[in-house]
A = this chain, B = another copy of it.
């Protein structure tokens, strides 16, 4: 039952990144450093229309790693996977290494 969700309007579907609680060498990371609330963009909506009917595309794209607000987001379970749905305007920014 693998299902895909195409978000509507200016919504963004995100799969949250669970920050590692240990370093690669297995050392427990202090709880404080692993607080970054981020996720991978899985799908974006077609965008909304401004008052002249012009389409305003979503400002992030599939594959981006994005910084998420502390609150908000709608939980969506598709099969065994858990995603979160945000409005484009709620996404705080894009993370780059």
Contacts and interface: CB of A to CB of B under 8 A. Distances in A.
Interface in A43-73: 43, 45-46, 49-54, 56, 59-60, 66-67, 69-70
A38 to B, nearest CB: 9
Contact of A74 (B54, B69, B74): B69
Interface residues of A, number: 44
- The 10 tightest CB contacts between A and B, nearest first, are A53-B54, A7-B93, A51-B51, A5-B93, A4-B96, A6-B94, A50-B51, A8-B93, A8-B91, A50-B53
A14 interface: no
Nearest to A9: B59
Given A5-B92, A8-B91, A52-B52, 14 more contacts: A2-B97, A3-B95, A3-B96, A4-B96, A5-B93, A5-B94, A6-B95, A8-B59, A9-B88, A13-B93, A36-B77, A52-B54, A53-B54, A74-B92
